[in-house]
Amino acid sequence: MRVHFNFQHSFNKNPMFKKSVLLSSLLLSVMVFQPALAQKAVMGKAATDFQQQSVALAANLSGLSKRVTTASPNDKEMLKLVINQLALVDATADGVLALGFVAADMRDSSDQASAKRHLGTRCAALKTLAEGTSTYIGSLASNIAAPASAAEVVKAKDLTSQLGQATLCGLVKK
């Protein structure tokens, strides 16, 4: 005697069988996709936080650019040096931010790993540049005579240091 299991018949006629198959499928999909979704959410949050820091640096850079027009000749030279260095940090931060959002939007784990690898390279460059720039800007701030301009340069130094230690770059395995 031959026993034949008719899946179609069991699926349509037995509601418990249908529920168990659907629940098993749902459980399997949750187990497979949950780590990726959680990691995607964390990466997205870190990229959003990094964006806020980057916008603050860009606003500070804009404020310093406006101060150049009214500064004394010595302060003008110091501010130009600060602005040039901050522009490099800002451009690098923009690249990190773009790759951070790309990595957060990746659905496939291999694509996300590739984006994270490129993000790691950019983060390493940003960290090195931010550390050097912070030191350089700190030394220039003491040579600026106008207190308001010097305070804005110190604020730029602090923002640059924060970008170099951003959570977004901490999520990337080096």
pLDDT digits (tens, 9 = 90+) for 119-156: 999 999 999 999 999 999 999 999 999 999 999 999 99
Q: What is the pLDDT of residue 18?
A: 57
List all residues 6 or more positions away from 88 whose beta carbon is below 8 Å from its beta carbon. Answer: 129, 133
Pick from 1-5, 72-76, 123-127, 168-172: least confident: 1-5
Q: What is the pLDDT of residue 31?
A: 46
The second-level CATH assignment, the architecture, of 36-170 is Up-down Bundle (1.20)
Q: How big, in percent rounded to 5, are the helix, strand and coil portions of the chain?
A: 85, 0, 15
Contact in structure between 103 and 116 (CB atoms under 8 Å): yes
pLDDT digits (tens, 9 = 90+) for 49-70: 999 999 999 999 999 999 999 9
Q: Where are the domains of the chain?
A: 36-170
Task: Give the global pTM.
Answer: 0.75
Closest CA to 102 of 87, 80, 117: 117
Contact in structure between 168 and 100 (CB atoms under 8 Å): yes
pLDDT surpassing 70 at residue 42: yes
Contact in structure between 82 and 142 (CB atoms under 8 Å): no
Q: What is the pLDDT of residue 84?
A: 96
Closest CA to 80 of 65, 63, 70: 65
Q: What is the pLDDT of residue 127?
A: 94
d(CA 77, CA 66): 14
